[in-house]
Amino acid sequence: MAELAPSQLSDLLDRGDEAAIRALFDSLSESDRTHAASRLPTLELGRLLDILGSEAAAGLIEDLPLSQAAAAIEEVEPRAAAEILEALSSDDRADVMAEVYEDDRRAILAAAPVETAREVRALLAYDADTAGGLMRTEYVSLRSGQTVSAAIDQIRRGADAYAGYAIQYLYAVDEQGRLEGVVPLRALLLARGEARLSELMVREPVVFGVEDPLEALAQVFRKQGFLGAPVVDWDGRLVGVVERAAVDDASIDVAESDHMKSLGIASGEELRSMPPMERSRRRLAWLSVNIVLNLFAASVVAAYQDTLQAAIALAVFLPIISDMSGCSGNQAVAVSLRELSLGVVRPSELAHVLSKEAFVGVLNGLALGSMLALLAWAWQGSATLGVVVGLALAVNTLLAVSIGGTTPLVIKRLGWDPALASGPILTTLTDVCGFFLTLQLATSLLL
């Protein structure tokens, strides 16, 4: 495979050498294509999509981060963008169009085939993290009264249309399109030609409703081994299929978004191809709040200036106590966010979470506090100093994991975003408590 210098693609785009660009892309592996394209500014990436043509552009769109793909397709002329849209699978179309600005979306869908535009609008009506928002509308439906031979003939006649489908199961429906059962493809191929689909189908398959949330879908796929499941509307009509891979990807996206938010990336996604001012604004949204919150911790230190002057060694241990407690608390936050996303804990289960975290907090607090106490004693030769910092760390670790474990549940119950708000709250409280415990104990025992 060819190696691509970072500036090579930009140079070709500047020269407008379309033949060379297509030849270059053909020589690259899929990962190299994605890497090269993702480094381009949005305007150049839009030009690249236009040059590659609908099929190649659609393949690239599927591999790019969603926000970058949507921004690029906005730079493409609506008719060409509609052709790229047509080459995508139904779920990818909806995902990209959901990120496109409304005016651009309207123009692109107006240029798309009527059926495609109608389908995209229908999928966009569902929340992204529901079965309706995750499903694909490409599936093969048959009548339960058909014979195996007739069903296979029907599939062969539609071979061109079905070529891009991920077919593991066939779906038996009645005259109104209501789901009657699921026929595994293997069972169809191995059955007698005169057998009826009604003899082969699973009559009570696992079925999702269009509004079933991601958490419920993930739980089912963890327990079951199948690769996909049908999705029905409120009248029981088959409207799509949600695949295990789509649910896994969506769960990962949610976890990554929550992690980014917990680190202060307020929008949940940041790419280095974005304009510096936009990236700065996204980060400052959290950092500017955090600096105000840290003033509370600073005020505690200021209130104990005399203690710090009398026992200057405490200044060395304050950041250690704060940092270690914060790390312990963040571990508890991560577990709670994970359990909330999986639906294995509810916002009302504060007592359950608190009891579980408190026990771990006592164990880890005693272990960490003892280590820090011994280090302080060995360094300063003061057993009392060791007791002060060790006890402060032990108690603050207990508080940190208790706060970290329960704060996401409280915030979720209030209707806010626990991934975004838990970090600043935990940091402020653990700093304030850690500084107060250390300095108050020092005031009582050392002075």
Q: Which neighbouring-strand residues pair with 412?
A: none
Domain ranges for the chain: 8-125, 141-242, 276-445
Tell me which of 3.20.20.120, 3.20.20.10, 3.10.580.10, 3.40.50.12780 is the CATH number of domain 141-242: 3.10.580.10
DSSP assignment string, 88-153? S-HHHHHHHHHHS-HHHHHHHHHHS-HHHHHHHHHHHTS-TTBHHHH-B----EEETTSBHHHHHH
Tens of pLDDT along 371-427? 999 998 998 888 988 999 999 999 999 999 999 899 989 988 887 777 666 777 788
Q: Which residues are CB-contacts of 198 (< 8 A; sequence separation ≥ 6)?
A: 144, 145, 172, 180, 181
Listing DSSP states for 325-386 in one string gives: HHHHHHHHHHHHHHHHHHTSS-TT-HHHHHHHHHHHHHHHHHHHHHHHHHHHHHHH--HHHH
Tokens encoding 275: 């304009």
Question: Would you say the CATH fold of 141-242 matches that of 8-125?
Answer: no
Asked if 301 and 442 count as a contact pair (C-beta separation under 8 A), the reply is no
Residues 201, 191: Cα–Cα separation, whole Å: 11
CATH class of 276-445: mainly alpha
Question: How does residue 347 score in pLDDT terms, banded at 50, 70 and 90?
Answer: confident
pTM (2 decimals)? 0.58
In contact, 261 and 333? CB cutoff 8 Å: no
Give which of 205, 255, 253 is closest to 228, Cα–Cα.
205
Q: ∠43-47-53 over CA atoms, to 5°?
A: 145
Residues in the chain: 447
Q: What is the band of 343 on the pLDDT scale with cuts at 50, 70, 90? A: low
Q: Alpha-carbon torsion 371, 376, 382, 388, what sign?
A: negative
Whether the CB-CB separation of 107 and 154 falls below 8 Å is answered with: no
Q: What are the tens digits of pLDDT across the range 72-103?
A: 899 999 999 999 998 888 888 888 998 898 89
Q: Which fold has domain 8-125?
A: MgtE N-terminal fold (1.25.60)
Residue 1 pLDDT exceeds 50: no
Average confidence score pLDDT of the chain: 83
Return the number of other C-beta atoms located less than 10 Å from residue 1's C-beta. Answer: 8
Least confident of 43-47, 146-150, 164-168: 164-168
Query: Which residue would you say has higher pLDDT here, 136 or 258?
Result: 136
pLDDT tens digits, residue range 182-235? Answer: 888 888 888 888 888 888 888 888 899 999 998 889 888 888 878 888 999 998
Q: What is the pLDDT of residue 289?
A: 63
> Residue 273: its pLDDT value, please?
59
- Give the pLDDT confidence of 62-73 residue by residue, as tens digits: 888 888 888 889
- How far apart are the C-alpha atoms of 229 and 131, rounded to whole Å? 10
Q: Is the pLDDT of residue 271 over 60?
A: no
Closest CA to 397 of 434, 443, 424: 434
Q: How far apart are CA 25 and CA 202, in angstroms?
A: 45
pLDDT digits (tens, 9 = 90+) for 237-270: 999 899 888 888 888 777 766 665 655 555 555 5
